[in-house]
Every structure is written in C-alpha cells, then in structure tokens.
Structure 1
Amino acid sequence: MVTRGRVLIFTIKDEGTFHLKDAAKNLLKTLGSQVSLNLSWRDMWTLVYGEKHSKSPALSTWGDPVLLKTEVQLTASEEAECHWADTELNRRRKLFCSKVEGYGSICSCKDPAPIEFSPDPLSNNNVFSVPVAVIAGNRPNYLYSSRVNPLMITVFIDGYYEEPMDVVELFGLKGVQHTPISIKNARVSQHYKASLTATFNLHPEANYAIVIEEDLDLSIDFFSFLSQTVHLLDEDDSLYCISAWNDQGYEHTAEDPALLYRVESMPGLGWVLKKSLYKDELEPKWPTPEKLWDWDMWMRMPEQRKGRECVIPDVSRSYHFGIIGLNMNGYFHEVYFKKHKFNTVPNVQLKNVYSLKKDAYEVEILNLLKEAEVLDHSKNPCEDSFLPDTEGKTYVMFIKMETETDTSTWTELAKCLHVWDLDVRGYHSGLWRLFRKRNHVLVVAVPISPYSEKKPTGVTPIQLDPPPKEEGAVVDQV
C-alpha cells in the first residue's frame, strides 16, 4: 500500500493468494474493491479509486500486466500538514513523517502514537546495565514494532539504508550501520557476529548481552523475566543461555507463565548471551563468510553447546510476527509461528527459579515423574480421548526412540499435536514438557532418556510411523 495525501494505491507485491489473508481481502472490499475476494493464483491486480484485474489463464502462468489510468483530486500540501506542539519529540516526528510513510498512527495529526519510552521501573532490576542488541536489516516497519526499554539499546543495521536509521532516530536510539558481508545465510551470520562483537566493544564492562531481532514483539514482562533469571548464567556453568522463546509453546500446549524449563536446544528469539561464552568460545570460531550456514543452527551444534542447556519459559515472552525473511514466508509463519502463546500477564513472579540449576532440576523432574499418572498406551495419542477430561493433573507417556536419530515417533506425535515438527527441539534428557487440556504432560523417549527406568513394567512405548508416501508423490519443502 502507498499513501500520498489522500490517495490510496493498492497492488499485489508478489502473490495475492499467498500473502493476502481473508481479513485483508474483506478490508479491501470495504474500500471499494470489486474483485478482492476472488483473487486467485497469479492474478494481476491494482486498485487506485478505480480497479483493474487480469485473470491468470492457468496455474503456471501469470495474468497479463494491468494498466490503470485514473484521476484523483489531491489536497494542497499545506492543508495536509499536521500542527503538533513544538517540542523536541514532535520535531523528530515531523522530520520523520516528512520523509517516510506507512507507519500508521505515528504520523496521525489528531492522536499520534507516542514515540517516547516510559517503561514501568523494575524492582531489583538485574538487567538495568545489560546492553541490548537489536539485530536489524532493511525492514524498518518491523523495527518500529520492536520498541523496547531504551536503556543500553543499540540497533545494528546490516547495510547503509536510510529508512531504518530514520526509525532509530525517531525514537532517539543509537544506531550502528555496517557494510554487509557475504550472501544469504552467511550474510545473516556475519551480521550477528559483527553486532555481538560491537556490543561488547561498546560496553566492555558488560558481562552479558540481550539479543533481540527486529521482527519480535516483546511481552510486558520481558525484562522482568530476564531480570529474575540472568543470575543463573553465573551460578550454573551447565547453562548456555536464557531464552524468552519456547519452541513447543503454542496456545494449546502452554499454560503457566510462571513456569520455567531447561532444554538442550538454543531457541533464540529474545535471549541472553554471556560475554565469556561469546569472547572465549564462539567468536574465535564463528563461521567464516564463505560458509553459508545459519548462525543459530551452528550454535545448536554439539561442538558449540557442549552439553549445556538453556532456560526457557512455558509461555513465551517473545512473539515472532515477521513473515518476510531469508527463511520465512507467509505459509511457514501461519503453520509454525502464528499460534504461539505470548504472555500478556504483567509482573509475573517466576516459580522456583533456583530449581533451574542442574542438580535441583533433576530432583524436580523426578518428583514430577513420581506423581505423574501413566496414560493408557493402548490408545492413539493423536486422539482427543487419549488424555482424560481433567484439569491440573500430571500425566506421563513413553514413546519409542532407539537412538538420537530415531525421531519418527516424536515427529509424528508433534504433527498431530500441532507443534514444531521439523526437527527435534525443546527436550531435556529425552523428556518433553507441555500442556494439554490444562494438564501437565511429560513425554519420555525410551530407551535413550535416563528417565526410561520410570516406565512401569508392562507398558509398551508408543511407536508412530510416518504415513507411506504415494508413488510419484512430490514432497513439499519449506
């Protein structure tokens, strides 16, 4: 969408049926579109208080180009200007709004959105002096949505783009731009390395860094969550990071915002990195520019993680809203990210933070297994009836997993539970924790998990096989 004064211009950027959801199509209809509800694969379309549509003749062919000529009554520029009070904030706002468009109420004349930060103070704030690195690229609309506590924030921009810096300056933050290095995944990886190195160079006294991406929303208690947990990184050398993201924390599988887990994966998406880990271990062997690797997958490798774990919340403190990126599109976001649960409860006091230390956590897991009721393994775990219609109870199920690479049963279970199923994540020593029907459910992999010994005699681990592939079928890849 482009706005100029009172002119609205809509057109398909790429693929209308892929990127336009029903809500957007219905909105376009209210604005006068005759065809928005009927846009199909590879149609060409534009709307400028007049409309032109070119139907695609076949799935493999784009519609013909559309040419629309129309006349629009423009408003004099002096009449379109806002008359905000002459303050430092509004001077920044006026400069910004004279240069860029598409930021909603930030440039509204009548009731402009605030551009100052006024976060509620944290009691016993343990992250007040921890630098925050916002990893950004050329997606300034995402950056605007990632407003956070301004203390210690630096926005790192991958490239010399004007508009992202305009957003940074609008909010009075510090921005650093650097020359992109390499291509594709390697470019992102080098951007992260440059940003992390610069963060600790800018703040040599810092022992940690908080890392967030531009396309994240942060919960109201994001910094409180980190403040209550960051000390664990100093007190337990078996920990790798503190992350605000639960890979398996969907609306139907996460329940308790005060509950914390330990997991063997590195979730990212709003996380705390210890300086000594980065400077002593990661920075010296960070993937070089010619290696087209994902930085986060590299950090999850056993050679880097070295058996260490990350602390995560049951209910995520970050929400990934971006649908455009190197490894992201609208379909992928719809399936794997849109229905993630996101905490909206303020001032959550986390439960038993001390129990996240290595030895104490083992005691907690064993106590949970002791009280857990074993589910009926003769039933199909993908059926709703597999779990009794109760609330507040703890259940356990055992699934077959002979080796680390024997992931078929978990993958099929994850699919029917509608959680992350692309690889195996979010477990601790072969045990997953999630909620179903407001009951705490433990899933134990047998025999690889040390908790397999808790399986009662006579209970056969559940085995799920992937459905057979049809001959000649094409497998979709994301």
Structure 2
Amino acid sequence: MCVSGRLVSIGVSSGASGWGLEVKGCPSQSCATLPPPHHQDRQEEETQKGVTLSVLNQRDASLIFHKVFPLWQYWAHWWDLLWHLERLEAGRVVVLAVSVSGTIGLRHAIPTLIHLGALLVPHLPPRARWTWVFVKGGRTISETAVIEGSRTHQTHATTMLSNLPHPAHYPGSSRVLEEQRWKYCSSYGVMGGLCDELCPDLLPLPLPKSLNDAQTLALVPVIVTAGSRHQYLYHALTALLSAPGAIHSNVLVVLGDAPSSTTSLLSLLNISYVRLEVSGSSNMKLFHYYRDVFHLVATRFPEAPAVILLDEDIEVSPDFFSFMSQTLGVLQSDPTLYCINAHSAGGFRGLAHDETRVFRGSVQVEWGYAITLDFVREALSMWLNTTNPNTLYYDFWIYMNVRKQRECLFPEMTRSRHFGMGVNTNAYIKERGPLSMPMVRRAPVMLQDINRLHLSAWRQHLYLKIFAATPLQGNPCSSSFLPSPPSSSYYVFYYKLNRLKGGDGRPDPYQYYNVAECLGTWGMSEQGHHDGLKIIPFARNSTLLIVGVPYSHYSRLWPKQPKLWNVDALTDKEFRQIRNYTQMRVTVANEHVTSDVLMERLTGH
C-alpha cells in the first residue's frame, strides 16, 4: 500500500496511435500501466479506440476501474459514459484520455463533464487528442489538448493521496457488514451509492413496500442473468429490489463468466446466486448460456406458475411488479399469449401518455419479461436439439421458432429500460429505442380493462374502435398528416401491406418500415403490431390505428375509399419527402475549430 499522504505521479498520453496511463509512486504494489504492454492484434486495437475512463483509489492509487467508451461513434455511447460519470464517488482520482479518436461522440455527456470541472472539452473538434486528470468533487490536476496534428502528446502530473480514514460505522448497519462494504469499495470503483462515503446506500438493502395482491407473485422466481459488469448489476438489483412487491428471497442471479467482483458484490448484498459452466465464444456462447438458464429454471422451479427474467443491465420501474402481478392471470389463461414484456414495444417520447393502458402484439421477449413454465419447457424441447440455429440471438430465436404466432402483453408506457451497452448493442438503434422512452416512476398503477386483453375481447374492442374512428388519408410523412389538435379520440389509416414471401407469415418489412418511421414509431422491424394493426397514441387523448391491407386481420373493415397509401407507388418527390422526414440528423460539434479559435474562446480575445 502507498503511504497515506504520499505524492504519486500520473503520466497520460493521447494520440492517433492510442493512449497510455502510467502511475508511479507505489513501491510496495504494482502501479497501473495501461494498456498492458503486449502485442495487440487489429481487433484489440479497435476496442481501444474512443475515450478511456480510469479511476484510481484516492488512498493508494490502485486502479479500481477502467473502460474504453467507443466515442469515435456518434450514437448512444455518450449515454454509457454519462451513466458511469454520474456514479463516480467523491474523492476518486479520475483519468480521461482520447485514444485514436473519441470526441465526436461525447455529445450529451459534455454538460456533465463541464460540471465536473472540464475546461477544454466543450471546444474540442472531432480529431482532437485530450487528457484530463481530476479529483471527483475536488480540483483539476491536469487538462491538456492537441487540436491539430497526429503526434502523441504526453502529460505528467503529481497529486497527493488522501490520508482520510474510511467512513465509520453507520447506524442501522452492522460493523462487520460496513467493513465488508469498504473493503469492497477499496478495490472497485464507479459503484455509485454503494461506495459513496458521504451518503452511502443503506445495507442491508431496505425492504420494499408490499402490494395488495402480493400472493400473485409469491411463487414466481425472478432470474437475473449476469456476468462481469458489476457496476450495471448493482444498479439493476437495487432498482429491482426497491420496487414495491419485490420478494428478496425469490431473486436468483445466474452467473456465466463472473469474476470475484461480481460474486463478492452478491455476497455483500446477501443475494442468492448460482454459476453455470459456459463455453464457446461471442454469440454462440450466449445462445448456449440462455438455453442453460432456461434448463435451470425448469429443473429448479418445476411447479412455479411463471418465471420473470431480466439481464444485469435492465433498470425496472417502481411499477414493475405491480404490472406483472396484474397481467400474469391473462398470460396463464390465454393460450394465444406467450409472454408479458415490461418493456413497451412503441412507447417513445411523444407516443406514450397513458400509464394504465396495456396492448398485445407480436414481439420477442425483451428487457424484463415473464413466461410460464410450460413455455420454458416447450422452448427447451426445441432448444436442446438445436445444433445449427437460424440466429444466435436467443430472444429472436424464440420469436422465430418457438412463438408460433402467439403474442405478448406490453404497456403503453415502459416499465423497464435497457441502460447498458453490450456486445450486441447497436448504438444507433439504442438511441432510437430505449433511450427515447419515458418510464413510469410511480407505483402502483392500476391498469385498465385487464380482461379485455384476451384475444376475442381484444379483437372486438379494436373492431369497435376502427368502425368509429375518423379515417385519415395522404402521406404519413407530411407534417400536416396528424391533426393538431386532434378532434377525435381515434383515427384510422389504411396502407398497403403484403405478406412477406417465405417470411413465415410475417408482413413485408419495407412497406411497414416506411409508414412506421414517418409516424415516429418503431420501424426497424415489424414487431409490435397485432394482426397487422399498429396502435400509435400520438396525443394524450387521441390514438391512431394503422391497418395494413391485405395483411391485417382487420382489412375487411377498409371501406375501399380512401385509396390505400402505397409506398411502392410513390413519385420520386414523395419518396424524397419520406427520406428527409425519417433520417436522423447528425450534428458534429466544433468541426472547424483550430488552435487559434480555441485560444480566442478561452481568453475572450
């Protein structure tokens, strides 16, 4: 250990060929040197591009967190950086550096960086090299930038280590538990409230409020799949276990590849876990892992009425268990359903207004879902004999091969958020999807007309709404297409939608995509529709029903007039209007900033 109050030296480099961090001044332990001094192949080099975040223990300068954020990409990774910055504990020594390229994707993380004390970051052009060393909640130790050129630049700084002791015992928690906490926090950083020395989270975790119908979920296990991302896992578990209706003893974390940072955390939180043997690589490894999770559920909880599953990077709403408890009976009694999703299939900002409404539609299991044990066994009967899957994404594989035209229930306003960035995260889709959805923040919410979600009642409900709806016509990409303000509670729009040839009953994705994108809902796949009908709550008291003809079950209600809108029959001018309307804009900050411009901004001259 470094002696308290000792000076340590921190060297940081940033350049077109990479970056580096070297900490000196820890004679009795190995100080941090990053990246590790070994040959990197091209794939490894690619993972080192972006903005690097390294966190040092303020008492001994040991490295307690490191991650590279691929901010050479424009979309969504700013969210992940922001998420981690918000969980930095006060007093930590923090090192940020650009490796190769990384400022173009900083975007919405910049205000937080400024709040933390960064001076240069709001002015950096896309190819800038940048380093910043600071103490969270304290002072900047060093901040440097090279605006032009490709040379690697280096900076060296010194800082005094903290000589403050770890926090004393806190009321309401045992001394042994607190000692375990601070031992854990001396080795792992960016843990948020767990390791916040000024206002730490309570341990043991407080018991949540109960629900009136608590017995509905009493026998339902909650499976959290996890690995090495213990920062994500802590946030997911604290949100889950604080939600009203959570039953601590029902939660089981199922680990694949999990280091001691994860198992020690679970022991600290007194949460049950099991390990599964995993083999292979990348998505084939994940495909087999989730198969084994299903097998574990079937063998360990054979009498359970259902199971709830979510990953380590899912934040649930306070209303998560209330939503599940109110809808579980419909899932169990309706054979045309196979899952309940806490995640909304179309609840984007501006298209999600009513916390009490629930829909049904063709979607895959995603981001906090419930399925019956019968469905678990049905999936396993196919899964265990699958040697050459048509997709390695297990959730999509279930959708394609096991679902068999069954649907899921999902809320208008989401009860879960996928906040993490993983191996299969598409940054563009992430920003278009989960990051733009408002989540319910109160509980319990009493859902409306639950029994109407059974298929026969749902179809009758939609028939009545379509029959009474005001028809719309014209180009859905036109800014005047949707009435504002709306004068009817329901509108209907009919458009050309064929069955995809060889698509196993699915609709034509191109025809669906253009209508969905124009109307601001999810268009990257056909998921979310019910029998070719998509529900779009475009205003607080007004809903648009879009019906694909002849694909939809509800096509018979099309009155033959007005004429079907058909993307395949548009003029070039009309098609250009679609492209202009649906494309997300890219705005590159400081694109033309030079060293002279930066000096003028900083000096005011």
Structure 2 length-normalised TM: 0.71
**Aligned residue number for residue 123 of structure 2:** 38
Deviations, residues 340-359 of structure 1 (Å, cap 9, x unaligned)? 12112321111111111121
Tell me the CA shift for residue 259 of structure 1: 1.1
**Aligned residue number for residue 385 of structure 1:** 480
2:538 is equivalent to residue 436 of structure 1 = yes
**Aligned residue number for residue 97 of structure 2:** 11
Tell me the CA shift for residue 131 of structure 1: 0.6
2:137 is equivalent to residue 47 of structure 1 = no
Report if the CA contact (8 A) 2:497-2:550 is conserved.
yes
Tell me the CA shift for residue 107 of structure 1: 1.7
Tell me the CA shift for residue 226 of structure 1: 0.6
- Which of 440, 462, 465 is matched with 1:368 structurally? 465
2:398 is equivalent to residue 299 of structure 1 = yes
- Aligned mates of 2:101, 2:426 — CA distance in 1: 11
Q: Residues 362 and 112 (structure 1 numbering): CA distance in 2 closer, same or farther, change over 3 Å?
A: same
Matches for 1:51-450 after TM superposition, within 5 Å: 51-55=143-147, 57=149, 63-76=150-163, 79-85=164-170, 87=174, 89-115=177-203, 116-125=205-214, 126-147=216-237, 148=240, 149=246, 150-286=248-384, 288=386, 291=389, 293-301=392-400, 303-322=401-420, 324-375=421-472, 377=473, 379-388=474-483, 389-390=485-486, 393-404=489-500, 405-438=507-540, 439-450=542-553
- Aligned mates of 1:257, 1:138 — CA distance in 2: 34
Report if the CA contact (8 A) 2:104-2:125 is conserved.
no
- Aligned mates of 2:356, 2:567 — CA distance in 1: 33
Report if the CA contact (8 A) 1:189-1:287 is conserved.
no
- Aligned mates of 1:14, 1:216 — CA distance in 2: 31
Report if the CA contact (8 A) 1:160-1:178 is conserved.
no
Q: How many residues align?
A: 459
CA RMSD in angstroms, aligned pairs only: 2.5
Tell me the amino acid that sits aligned with residue 407 of structure 1. Answer: P
Deviations, residues 343-392 of structure 1 (Å, cap 9, x unaligned)? 123211111111111211111111211221112x1x32123321221266
Aligned to 2:265, the other structure's residue is in SS state: helix
- Aligned mates of 2:131, 2:387 — CA distance in 1: 41
- Please identify, of 157-166 and 360-369, the stretch whose mean Cα deviation from structure 2 is larger: 157-166
Aligned to 2:158, the other structure's residue is in SS state: coil
- Please identify, of 457-466 and 260-269, the stretch whose mean Cα deviation from structure 2 is larger: 457-466
**Aligned residue number for residue 567 of structure 2:** 464
Tell me the CA shift for residue 286 of structure 1: 4.8
Structure 1 length-normalised TM: 0.89
Deviations, residues 146-183 of structure 1 (Å, cap 9, x unaligned)? 12132311112221312122322232111223333222
Tell me the CA shift for residue 33 of structure 1: 3.3
Tell me the amino acid that sits aligned with residue 338 of structure 1. Answer: L
Report if the CA contact (8 A) 2:356-2:446 is conserved.
yes
**Aligned residue number for residue 60 of structure 1:** none
**Unaligned regions of 5+ residues in structure 1, if any?**
58-62, 469-474
- Aligned mates of 1:176, 1:371 — CA distance in 2: 54
Deviations, residues 207-235 of structure 1 (Å, cap 9, x unaligned)? 31100111111111100111111122221
Report if the CA contact (8 A) 1:128-1:151 is conserved.
no
Q: Residues 156 and 14 (structure 1 numbering): CA distance in 2 closer, same or farther, change over 3 Å?
A: farther
Percent of matched pairs sharing the same residue: 27
Deviations, residues 281-303 of structure 1 (Å, cap 9, x unaligned)? 435425757656111111111x3
- Aligned mates of 2:209, 2:414 — CA distance in 1: 20
